[in-house]
A and B are shown apart, each in its own frame.
Chain A
Amino acid sequence: MKKLIYSFWVSIIILSLIGCGKEDAKQAAANTVVNSGKITKRARAGENRVYEQFSNVELFPDIQKIITRGTLNIGIYQDCDVPFVIKDSDGKVTGGLDMEITGFLADHLGVKPVYDYTIKSRVELFRKLHNGEIDIAAGELSHTFDRGKYVYFSNTYAQLHPSLIMNKKDVVELGIRNDPYKYLSEKPCKIGVQADSSYIEYAQNLFPKAEVYEYPTLEDALDALNRNEVIALLHDDNEIVLLARQHAEIALTNTVYVLKNKKDNICIAISPKSPNLCDTVNLYLESDDLLFDVNDLIERYPDAYKCE
């Protein structure tokens, strides 16, 4: 009799254990997605999981380091503009394209994103990235030849174009209303750019005979243009559209020339200490087919472009 009672309790315990196992299996199935014909397991943020079938395989050391740490350290340039980083009236970051992309990326890796918003200049941002203090950097970062020599860059996720703002009066007087590029690239002239931006390099490459003047902000550069200190202001089309909406008089007094065959590729910068992270970032960008232009950005973040 005792044996019967013992067997009964043992079977109850075994059955409950099997039932629990089924619940776990159901939960596991819920977390499983079909991807390219292979059953893989998508990790959740903070769980530090990797593909199930490779769980016993040694990972790339840089990836392993991030997963072991449980965080993806992301550097964001403090003065990055909308819609890449959107802030509320108190200056608190509330969203933006780069926040979305980096957030999803951390999610894919199964780690928590940790942002450093205190980086005051792009120079400091790339220094930190180069030293490995941060794993990736974002904030409307252009992939330039110079930067590509010391950090990795992902594939392009936003494609902008270098654009010139010129005074309407100047282009009419100089007779270059239809083609100011030829004049600027062939004649010695003064071109204003935002300091610490990739456009210093763009200006030097596009206009080899020009003197490049750096200004702390685009507004300062616009003031310099209006004071005739410089003949043109060079930046990307997204920033120029934003500038025109903040300074509506541009629509009347200036002409904007978008150099449509020149590209400003906006990418995620990756620390040279994490070379294998680049593939992961690219895989994510490619799988979600991310490639925005100005119109896509305006459509996605209309509030960021409201005319003031």
Chain B
Amino acid sequence: MERIKRFLSSFWTIIFSLVLGVVIGIYAPRIATACESFGEIYFKLIELCCTIMLPVIIISSIGKIIISKGSSGYVYKILIALFLTFAVISGISILSSIIVSPITAPTSETTKSLGKLIINSQEKHQDEPIDVLKSYYFIREIDTDKEIQKKDTGILKIIAGFFPNNIFESLANKKTVEVLIFSIIFGLLFKYIPPLTCNSLINLCDSLFEAFNTFLTILLYLLPFGIISLISHETTGLDFNIVISLFKLGERIALVFLILFIICIIIIKYTSKKSFIVVFKALKEPMILSFVAENLVAMPSLISAMTEKLGFNRNKVGSAAPLWMGMEIHADVALFAAASIFTLQLYGIPIGFNEIMMIFIGSIAAGLSALGAAAILWVALIRIILDPLDIPSSPIILALMLFEPFFNGLLYLLNSVISCAAVSILAREPESKKDLLPEIKEIATP
């Protein structure tokens, strides 16, 4: 049984499922159609788990930190530092994605291929005879006799739209950012709830998370089959050349990752006051572990490298590193920002201040939402950025899903380097707050 579980959850099985899904979609569309219902049920169940798990994990984590005695100041500091990390990552990714765009700009072939993908996917998702004029994203019907109200797309208006007025409505309509904001506010309000009630609420959240996490773990063993049905359906009627022409997106993401990696290494070098060679040697093991396994596996190695080889304060590293490494979403923010800029250029939409701000905020929101998303499904969260910009996200999601297994190792590696860089700045804090740290370490370690 264990061997079957290992086989089903191995990296190579996922890769094989992806390739098989593409092959079935292109060469055996009938099988793809037959598999469609299984995929639909499977991903609906995963979505169900994530919808519950996302708010409860945030409420529980923030609540636990808030109710710890004397830790609230440090909590706010860590929260601010976390947010700043997100903001810096998002900003650098947007900037570097724009800088590298001349060499990774979408070609006319890419544009045509994605155009085909859009037309095919929009038709494929129609079960009944389609109303072409209504179903195509790029076709709009207008009545020349009626005055059309200009949609206010100001950044403040868009930000205001992220705030929920009814959490049940937000949950029902899958408005992830609204759920996220509610969860953070609710978590912070634990400070004003009696401790007994707080503990009960946290226990409830933890129990719910555990229960759904167990169900999700079981579901994830079936992921290879889910991937086959999803990818085969998405690629039905797809020309294989389309997939190849999307490699420009892969180049863009890889270059943005490289820029972020270099910046992080420079930060670590500067904060540790060690040479590049020493920094590389110290981080070699955690980077390899992150690349081949995942961040949580690499965490002890990273803490030991930062404290023993680079000379950072053990208590500070021990309290902050698990939070950064445990979140595993910083690289996701970078990926969302880079992919969104690429998408805008692909659609020929001029990148103005509003667009940049939307991507900046949206990529952070999408990254935070990825906390509760399972497996490769998290790439679909790019919708959070593209939907308010009125851009169809399905072709980019499909492309990202195809690339995700190849980027997975790089994402983990980048997460560990970003965590190391952020923690290296925090670990330079004065020793005066040292007393707080053991308690926080206990809370923050996953």
Cβ B138 vs Cβ A255 within 8 A: yes
Classify the secondary structure of A's interface with B.
helix
Please tell me which one of the listed residues A247, A250, A261, A299 contacts residue B145 in the complex, with CB atoms under 8 A apart: A261
Contact with A along B132-148 (1 / 0, CB 8 A): 11001111111111001
Task: Find out whether the CB atom of A251 lies under 8 angstroms from the CB atom of B140.
Answer: no
Assign chain A's interface to a size class: 35 or more
A167 at the interface (CB under 8 A from B): yes
Which residues on the A side are within 8 Å of B69 (C-beta)? none
Count of CB-CB pairs between chains A and B under 8 Å: 107
C-alpha spacing A252/B151, complex, angstroms: 21
- Are the C-beta atoms of A248 and B349 separated by less than 8 Å? no
Q: Does B408 contact A (CB under 8 A)?
A: no
Shortest Cβ distance from residue A61 to the other chain B in the assembled complex, whole angstroms:
45
CB <8 Å contact, B143 and A169: no
Task: Write out the residue numbers on chain B whose beta carbons fall within 8 Å of the beta carbon of A299.
Answer: 129
Place the interface of chain B in its size category.
20 to 34
8 Å CB contact of A261 from B111, B144, B150, B348: B144
Least CB separation from B109: chain A residue: A249
Contact A252 B140 (CB under 8 A): no
Residue B346 CB within 8 A of the other chain: yes
Would you give the 0/1 interface string for B333-348, flagging 1 where the beta carbon is closer than 8 Å to chain A? 0000000000000111
Nearest CB of chain A from residue B419's CB, rounded to whole Å: 37
Q: Which of A181, A182, A250 contacts B138 (CB 8 A)?
A: A250
A308 to chain B, nearest CB (A): 9
Measured CB to CB, the nearest residue on chain B to A167 is B348
A295–B142 touching, CB < 8 Å: no
Q: What 0/1 readout, one digit per residue, does chain B (1-41) give for beta carbons within 8 Å of chain A?
A: 00000000000000000000000000000000000000000
**Contacting chain B: which of A42-50, A68-76, A171-179, A272-280?**
A171-179
Give the docked Cα–Cα distance between A295 and B139 (Å). Answer: 14
Q: Which of B132, B136, B142 lies in contact with A251, CB distance below 8 A?
A: B136
Bound-state CA distance A169–B119 (Å) is 20
Instruction: Flag whether B112 is at the interface (Cβ < 8 A).
Output: yes
Q: Digit string of B67-101 for contact with A (CB within 8 Å is 1, else 0)?
A: 00000000000000000000000000000000000
- Measured CB to CB, the closest approach of chain A to B146, in angstroms, equals 8
Query: Is the Cβ of B119 less than 8 Å from the Cβ of A251?
Result: yes
Please indicate the chain A residues that have their CB under 8 angstroms from the CB of B141 in the complex.
257-258, 260
When distances are taken between beta carbons in the complex, the residues of chain B under 8 Å from A181 are 142, 144
A244-B119 in contact (CB<8A): yes
What mask results when residues 216 to 255 of chain A are scored 1 for a CB within 8 Å of chain B, else 0?
0000000000000000000001001100110111111111
5 A-B pairs with least C-beta separation: A248-B115, A251-B115, A179-B148, A248-B116, A253-B348
Q: Which residues of A contact B (CB under 8 A)?
A: 167-169, 172-173, 175, 177-182, 185, 206, 237, 240-241, 244-245, 247-262, 294-295, 298-299, 307
